[in-house]
Amino acid sequence: MVAEWLFVQTVEDIRRRSSLVDDGDRYSLLGIAPLLRKVLTDGRALVDTVSVVRPEVDISFQIVPFSDPREDPTDPGWGRIKTVVAFGRDELVPAVPVTPLGLEEFLQTQVGVVEGLPMSVGSTIRYFSHVEGGVHFGVPKTLPERVLANVTPSFFGYGSVWTDVLGRIGAIAADGLRPLADAILAAPTDNQQIQPRNEAGPLDNHWARQAD
């Protein structure tokens, strides 16, 4: 019951923070990283906990993989200019439905490039959680993390810069998790000893009813 409450609240928080992507609110966007980690990538992620009793609910994500036009082989200048750091923006969020991906495929989807090395959804969540300070302000371990950590101070006064990518990932994740959140709200786990059903059916004094 507690896990369901936390899952629904987390999905809604991700959605709310993702809506601020155009406001340049770096702090709010950075806060998406630990929420995504908690719900998707932790050892016992919330999505795994709450989906066990709802195997019929489809959990899938629609995303357009990152593609850097400056490294397009059809471009005459290809090979002469390499992108140091670039992340996808609005183009990551599909304008029309695309092939849905399962969780593992979604986490492996490329959303950026750093020194020619791909940054996936999963590695981006880890970087902003464990290096940029989403969870703790830590030491970069991989080459992409070291590059990002070195160049971040140069752009710190220019709004959210590439933390914007968290807003796009967050919006996609919230959409993919919404069916599961809705299923929980429609039929939440209850403890009838402390939350009896009334004559109309809904639970009395239940968090899900209060969320309506």
pTM higher than 0.75, yes or no?
yes
DSSP of 101-170: B-HHHHHHSEEEEETTEEEEHHHHHHHHHHTSSSS------SHHHHHHHHHGGGGTTSTTGGGHHHHHHH
Domain boundaries, the chain: 2-210
| Tens-place pLDDT, residues 69-103 | 666 556 555 454 455 788 999 999 999 999 999 99
Q: Between these two residues, 183 and 133, which has the higher pLDDT value?
A: 183
Q: Between these two residues, 181 and 43, which has the higher pLDDT value?
A: 181
| Tens-place pLDDT, residues 105-123 | 999 999 999 888 889 999 9
| Mean pLDDT, range 51-80, rounded to an integer | 78
